[in-house]
């Protein structure tokens, strides 16, 4: 896609206002989305065209573009739905005109039988399913939550997030979609759940992963420390001689499993030294003979 507005409109630099408008009109007639209901690319083409025209038609903006002060992007104006988005929908509207097909309807052939059958089916058609996306926090995805969605029409929808939901899972709320016709009843609301990444936790299948810092003393001497889980803090025993990378398992603190039970939370320890130089620590390590002879890189291919 080109963002050179001159190229988009097929005109030369220094084009007059009249010629510019002529070029714009000629192209707009060809690619206006409402005149090209079957062409999915028409909308982006038309947008690009309108943006290019908006830029070049404004003498001030054009001068800025020519002198390189602004580029061709970012001038698109937001646009609400096109007429074609409504006119082809199955919902009835006053502009629906079937006269282009009327001569097919009268005859006794298979096509008109199909059309008559669908007309009968339409009389009691179920409402459409409505689709929504709902972003939730990671913690809510594990522990479950109640969320309230505000719909485009201003109504609200209460959604219960079951504990342990995975990203992309779709919740179906029966009868919360669009109204149907006749005895058709309401469609469903389909809610696709999007889980926002968490600062601390990540998830793999039913297990939850957490990297958690401990102090040097806790690593060497062992300790009982507080560790967060999506369902609240728990106390965890850090055994003596733990190390960076040591992974401890908190049984049953993971995500709820599909068939019952829970996964585990795996806590990967990370030993942290205090910030800044510490004379006591320096003195201690200087006197620690084994610390000098231990080579952690031994056996690691160089």
Binding site for other proteins (CB under 8 A): 24-25, 28-29, 32, 34-35, 37-38, 50, 80-88, 90, 93-101, 111, 114-115, 117-118, 121-122, 152-154
Q: How far is the CB of 17 from other proteins (least distance, A)?
A: 14
Q: How far is the CB of 53 from other proteins (least distance, A)?
A: 8
Q: How far is the CB of 6 from other proteins (least distance, A)?
A: 19
Q: How far is the CB of 194 from other proteins (least distance, A)?
A: 26
- Residue whose CB is less far from other proteins, 62 or 84: 84
Residues comprising the chain, all counted = 302
C-alpha–C-alpha distance, residues 3 and 53, integer Å: 12
Q: How far is the CB of 37 from other proteins (least distance, A)?
A: 6
- Residue whose CB is less far from other proteins, 86 or 288: 86
- Residue whose CB is less far from other proteins, 114 or 283: 114
Beta bridge partners of 236: 225
| Per-position b or e across 201-226, b if 16+ CB within 10 A of its CB | bebeebbbbbebebeeebbeeebebe
Give every CB contact of residue 238 below 8 A, 6+ residues apart in sequence. Answer: 214, 218, 219, 222, 223, 224, 225, 248, 269
Beta bridge partners of 146: 160
- Residue whose CB is less far from other proteins, 41 or 247: 41
Rounded to 5 degrees, what are φ and ψ at 235? Answer: -95, 135
- Residue whose CB is less far from other proteins, 82 or 209: 82
- Alpha helices (H) along the chain: 5-9, 17-31, 42-57, 59-66, 83-87, 102-106, 110-123, 138-143, 216-221, 279-286, 289-293
Q: How far is the CB of 54 from other proteins (least distance, A)?
A: 11
- Residue whose CB is less far from other proteins, 101 or 284: 101
C-alpha–C-alpha distance, residues 119 and 40, integer Å: 28
């Amino acid at each position: 896609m080109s963002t050179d507005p001159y190229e988009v409109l097929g005109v030369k630099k220094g084009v007059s206002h009249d010629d510019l408008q002529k070029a714009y009109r000629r192209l707009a007639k060809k690619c206006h989305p409402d005149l090209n209901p079957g062409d999915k690319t028409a909308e982006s083409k038309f947008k690009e065209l309108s943006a290019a025209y908006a830029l070049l038609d404004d003498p001030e903006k054009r001068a800025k573009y020519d002198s390189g002060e602004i580029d061709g992007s970012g001038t698109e104006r937001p646009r609400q739905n096109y007429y074609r988005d409504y006119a082809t929908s199955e919902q009835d509207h006053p502009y629906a005109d079937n006269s282009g097909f009327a001569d097919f309807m009268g005859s006794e052939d298979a096509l008109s039988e199909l059309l008559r059958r669908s007309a009968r089916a339409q009389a009691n058609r179920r409402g459409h399913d409505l689709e929504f996306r709902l972003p939730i926090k990671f913690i809510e995805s594990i522990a479950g939550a109640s969320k309230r969605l505000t719909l485009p029409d201003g109504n609200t929808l209460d959604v219960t997030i079951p504990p342990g939901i995975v990203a992309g899972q779709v919740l179906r709320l029966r009868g919360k979609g669009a109204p149907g016709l006749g005895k058709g009843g309401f469609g469903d609301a389909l809610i696709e759940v999007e889980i926002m990444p968490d600062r601390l936790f990540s998830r793999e299948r039913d297990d939850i992963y957490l990297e958690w810092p401990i102090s040097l003393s806790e690593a060497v001497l062992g300790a009982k420390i507080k560790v967060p889980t999506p369902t609240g803090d728990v106390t965890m025993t850090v055994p003596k001689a733990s190390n960076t990378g040591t992974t401890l398992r908190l049984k049953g603190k993971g995500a709820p499993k599909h068939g019952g039970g829970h996964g585990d939370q795996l806590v990967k320890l990370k030993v942290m030294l205090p910030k800044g130089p510490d004379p006591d620590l320096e003195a201690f390590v200087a006197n620690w003979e084994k610390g000098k002879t231990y080579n952690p890189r031994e056996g690691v291919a160089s």
